[in-house]
Amino acid sequence: MKKIFTILAAALLLASCADFTDLKPKGMNMLSTADELELLLNTEYRDFYSTGFDMYQLPGDLLIGTVGPIANLISIPTPTRNSIVITWDSDNVKRLAELTSSDDEYRQLYEFVGKVANPILASVGFATGDEAKKNQIKAEALCLRAWAEFILVNKYAKAYNPATAESDPGIVYLMDDWDISIPPEKWTVKRVYDQIVADCNAAIELNSLPEKNLNQMRWSKACPYAIKALALIAMQDYEGAEAAAKESLKVNDAITDYWDPARVMPISAVMPPFNVYETFFRAPFSCEEDLFHTYIQPQFNLLRTPECESRLEAGHAALVRVPLDIMMFNMNPMMGMGMSTAQIPYPCVFGMGTNRGASWNMFGLKTTQQYLIVAECEIRAGNYTEAMKYLDAVRAKRIDPEIYEPLEGKVNDKASAIEHLKQTALGENVYSIYNFIERKRWNQLDDMKETLNKTFNLLSGESYSYSLEPDSPLWIFPFPMNARDNNPNLTPNSYEEE
């Protein structure tokens, strides 16, 4: 009983203990069969509303309208958390940590590990039931833990650098045998990534996951390969990453056609002259390319910046087939929701698909991530034609067919290949956390890192320009204070404590 309670409570010390004061141990019989353990996997992975939508905003392509008037955030004498993030104020990383009292992503991801994955892993060996079922849910738990820890290490630790990863401080990797009486220690970045790969390999070796998952919030045979590929390319193991990505694509290589007439729906504006515009409806839990789906539908608060629009490929569905407030209400940007919230004339992405429940799988896994991994690895090998073939497989389902032109056979140098890779990746990742993850990873590579720039043009006529350097400490978000208060081992990764 102590062991079960220990595992179920594992996330508590890492997050806010006050949220779970009425958790009571029930004894081993609560998790005694394979069918009972499987019930833990019926968790909804949705609504990751972290403080200020950190990983969406930092790369500068999206702005969260609810941050408040931009002019006020720029001029405020004492920086707020939002002002530090949106103005890329690298000098105030310590204050950013002090202002991060809690963090929904931190809490939820560790809950998935501590309340779903680890109880299964700790109990499945003793549970009764069909061995095939037990192996399947064990493999799913390993996938869940590897995926959650992958996101956590990307947000709260330095990107993997082979020269320093063995000593770079990382995060807590919550294992199923941890004793809650002992505060868990941070692992190094290398140790975290090694364990992610080990969890994926263990899931693969069980050979028990279905070709097609039961639903897109469960795990299929393609998933451990997909997570492994994401981890290995971060570790700059390009040969291993490409092999894992191709294994994932052997199971599922589908790419949803964003220009399929059956998926593109005509929508009537709600204001005169009631013109009709077309939008792509990305239906949750039914897009063939989604290996693991996380449902998030930000309503009326994702503002797309000019810098983002200039970088997206012309005719890309993420640019021209996503509904905006100016379409819905027949207004110009000076009258839109960006003006009413942030007071800056940026178009507002309107509910990611009007109000019909569309979801862009902002945290989950997609087949297209694997195509991008193979393309990048082929660029590293100097095989530009092969790399462009994989990019074209994605682009052909994203770009307006009337203007789409393939890249295969037309790119013969590394610099051009990298630019096309980055542009295609932006189209895939712009409405997800993976734009942050990829750019942070690229900052470790001399031929891919770049300084990001953006400008706010205020209504007053004033302009304010900002830059985010590849080595800025802002790429490492702080552990929330409620977690640090409960675990003295969670020392900051983005700055040195005095």
Pick 362 or 94 by higher pLDDT: 94
The C-alpha atoms of residue 463 and residue 362 are separated, in whole angstroms, by 31
Residue 31 has a pLDDT of 73
- Asked whether 65 and 337 are in contact (CB, 8 A), the reply is yes
Q: Is the pLDDT confidence value at 478 over 90? A: yes
User: How high is the pLDDT of residue 26?
Assistant: 37
Instruction: Check residue 409 and give its pLDDT.
Output: 97
| pLDDT exceeds cutoff 50 at 373 | yes
CA distance 387 to 409: 10
Q: What is the mean pLDDT of residues 478-493?
A: 96
The region of weakest confidence among 207-221, 254-268, 405-419, 459-473 is: 254-268
Which of 125-134 are b and which e, b meaning 16 or more Cβ less than 10 Å from the residue's Cβ? eebebeeebb
- What does the alpha-carbon distance between residue 406 and residue 312 come to, in Å, rounded to a whole number? 16
- Residues 156, 493: contact at Cβ < 8 Å? yes
* pLDDT value at residue 295: 83
Question: Which comes out higher in pLDDT, residue 117 or 19?
Answer: 117
Give the dihedral sign, CA 14/20/25/31: negative
Q: pLDDT confidence of 5, banded at 50, 70, 90?
A: very low
> How many CA atoms does the CB half-sphere of 201 hold within 13 Å?
10
**Percentage of residues in the chain having pLDDT higher than 90:** 72
* Whole-number pLDDT of residue 13: 40
Please say whether the beta carbons of 473 and 438 come within 8 A: no
Measured in Å, how far apart are the chain's first and last C-alpha atoms? 42
Residue 194, pLDDT score: 98
- pLDDT band of residue 356 (cuts 50, 70, 90) is low
Domains of the chain and CATH, by start: 2-49+103-220 (1.25.40.390), 51-101+456-475 (no CATH)
Rounded CA gap, 223 and 248, in Å?
7
Percent of the chain residues topping a pLDDT of 70: 89
pLDDT higher for 157 or 27? Answer: 157
| Chain-centroid distance, C-alpha 248 | 19
92-97: Cβ within 8 A, 24+ apart: 93/473, 93/474, 93/476, 93/478, 93/494, 93/495, 94/492, 94/495, 96/474, 96/477, 96/478, 96/494, 97/478, 97/479, 97/481, 97/492, 97/494, 97/495
Q: What is the mean pLDDT of residues 375-392?
A: 98
Q: Is the dihedral of CA 235, 236, 237, 238 positive or negative?
A: positive
Give me the pLDDT at residue 66, please: 79
pLDDT tens for 123-148 read: 999 999 999 999 999 999 999 999 99
Q: Say yes or no to pLDDT of 402 above 80.
A: yes
Span 403-459, pLDDT tens digits: 999 999 999 999 999 999 999 999 999 989 999 999 999 999 999 999 999 999 998
Strand-pair category, 264-268 with 276-280: antiparallel
Q: Which residue has the higher pLDDT, 178 or 373?
A: 373
Predicted confidence (pLDDT) per residue in 34-56, tens digit: 999 999 999 888 767 665 589 99
> Is 469's pLDDT higher than 70?
yes
pLDDT tens string 67-95: 889 999 999 999 999 999 999 999 999 99
Structure confidence at residue 52 (pLDDT): 57
pLDDT at 67: 81
Q: What is the mean pLDDT of residues 212-228?
A: 95
List CB contacts of 179: < 8 A, sequence separation 6 or more: 6
Q: In degrees, to the nearest 5, what angle opens at C-alpha 298 toward C-alphas 296 and 303?
A: 135
For residue 104, the tally of other CB atoms under 10 A from its CB is 16
- 326-346 pLDDT tens trace: 777 766 666 777 888 888 888
Mean pLDDT estimate for the chain: 89
Q: Is a pLDDT exceeding 70 seen at residue 300?
A: no
pLDDT recorded at residue 50: 60
Q: Which residue has the higher pLDDT, 373 or 280?
A: 373
Q: What is the pTM assigned to this prediction?
A: 0.92
Biggest distance spanned by C-alpha atoms of the chain: 70
How large is the angle between the packed helices 222-234 and 367-380, nearest 10 degrees?
Answer: 40
Confidence label for 202 from pLDDT (cuts 50, 70 and 90): very high
Mean pLDDT score, 359-376: 95
Tokens coding 470: 């590849």
